[in-house]
Amino acid sequence: MTGRLTVIGLGPGDPHYLTAAAKSALFEATDLIGYHAYLARVPEWAGQTRHASDNRVEVDRARHALSLAADGRRVAVVSGGDPGVFAMAAAVFEALEAGPVAWRSLDISIEPGITAMLAAAARVGAPLGGDFCAISLSDNLKPWEVIVQRLDAALSVGFAVALYNPISKARPWQLDAALEIARARLPARTPVVLARAVGRPDERIEILPLSDMKGDMADMATIVIIGTSTTRLIDREGAPPFVYTPRSVEPPA
Amino acid sequence: MTGRLTVIGLGPGDPHYLTAAAKSALFEATDLIGYHAYLARVPEWAGQTRHASDNRVEVDRARHALSLAADGRRVAVVSGGDPGVFAMAAAVFEALEAGPVAWRSLDISIEPGITAMLAAAARVGAPLGGDFCAISLSDNLKPWEVIVQRLDAALSVGFAVALYNPISKARPWQLDAALEIARARLPARTPVVLARAVGRPDERIEILPLSDMKGDMADMATIVIIGTSTTRLIDREGAPPFVYTPRSVEPPA
């Protein structure tokens, strides 16, 4: 088969975050597939066909992309952030594994992008400067008790934690429950970063102590970074503080 | 003060991984500071001064960068991967916090980049498709027992784990010790990815079962990704398998 499928990370909203490799891959595609809000970020080129969908049904979208590639098309699946982090890459491989064996001879590749937690961290300083974890709070595909277990384990040993998919209409209480777990493990003053729509015109970034954070301060487009007990603020006049986690860790008491 | 300091993520070696924003920031600098191997990746522009150093003494380098910015220079601190992930950003904020208060009014920013684990993951599939952690195995700045605690906690609850700084001449046994911890928690067949120098001419990627992995297969330029008990291989004819971690997680037994 001569078809090709590339899953492309657009990074956060601003096209300045796109890598040169991702830009070339977008340009070379005959067909673009993705959630309509991501497709809307890609400049239109003549001769390209666009297949927009809503932001669920990832495996259907992946299957569609693979079947177009099997027909000889050069398909770009567009993904926000990095395709390998709570985005389209895993869905494509799920569809590939379950699909016709012939699909495995397609030219399939992933173009990495700037994932939300790294864009958010860069905006405020270096809150992920030590060891850290990324956890999706969505319990659509994994039991809530697994999420609780992972979050608590991570916080108990001093990881900074980036929470993806923190809240949605269908999942309104999970973020408050996660914050409760964090408050049981960390000092009240632990810095929390809420970063919404980084690099887009409606970007909004807040830095606040864990004790003041409430679930309804976030929405679907927000990434939440919970610092560690050593994460620090550097105050500045006339500007928000920097937030960073020092590289050094003291021996446990 | 009118000086400016930007910490810039070059991503993995290939310039195609550079974002447009990082490229502009490199171009606008009057002074480039960094480990000489990173500086060597940046095209030379007339009128820019380069300050190369070896890959230790991060805080000295950060202090030097801040003092040049305080003299009114536009300084770019170059960093491999993403500056916020086991790289120069945290060192800059450590130096900023400890330095003269006047430094806090400098224009300081971070340009994110593709960090090694995401570049490595993209090369092989989607091994970080579920929840995951990033841990530096270097015990230069944190006690080994903290590393052991974090690694064991992460593996015990099903995180995939990316190991940065897995081995060096001064730290020859830590990676084997980490692999022992992983073998106590995970099935022998769990896929492990070793990715060395991603995007550079000497790139080398290996996928092997946890039971076969030995510390001396890695070097300083390697990132090691340990999958989870659900991480899968998709075999292909005439090509290495894809490695991916499905998004779904079953309830604990």
* Chain B residues within an 8 Å CB radius of A90: 126, 129-130, 244-247
* Chain B residues within an 8 Å CB radius of A5: none
Q: Is B158 on the interface with A (CB under 8 A)?
A: yes
Residue reference for tokens 């409606």: A202
Determine the residue of chain B that is closest to A118 in CA distance: B112
Residue reference for tokens 């860069």: A122
Task: With CA atoms as reference, report the closest residue to B110 among B135, B78, B86.
Answer: B78
Q: Is A192 on the interface with B (CB under 8 A)?
A: no
* Chain A residues within an 8 Å CB radius of B125: 89, 93, 110
Enclosing H/E stretch for B44: none
* Chain B residues within an 8 Å CB radius of A122: 82-84, 89, 109-112
CB A98 within 8 A of CB A68: no
Give this prediction's pTM.
0.97
* Chain B residues within an 8 Å CB radius of A236: 104-105
CB within 8 Å of chain A, chain B residues 86-105: 86, 89-94, 96-97, 104-105
Query: Which among A119, A125, A142 has CB closest to B249?
Result: A142
List, in sequence order, every residue forming a beta bridge with A13; answer none if it has no partner: none
CA of A228, closest CA in chain B: separation in Å?
13
pLDDT in tens, chain A (253 residues): 579 999 999 999 888 999 999 999 999 999 999 999 999 999 888 899 999 887 668 899 999 999 999 999 999 999 999 999 999 999 999 999 999 999 999 999 999 999 999 999 999 999 999 999 999 999 999 999 999 999 999 999 999 999 999 999 999 999 999 999 999 999 999 999 999 999 888 999 999 999 999 999 999 999 999 999 999 999 999 999 999 999 999 887 6
Q: Is A131 on the interface with B (CB under 8 A)?
A: yes
ipTM of the complex: 0.97
How far apart are alpha carbons B161 and B137 in whole angstroms? 11
Say if the Cβ atoms of A118 and B242 lie within 8 Å. no
How far apart are alpha carbons B136 and B70 in whole angstroms? 32
Which of A150, A163, A207 has the highest number of chain B CBs within 10 A, making it the mutation to test binding with B? A150
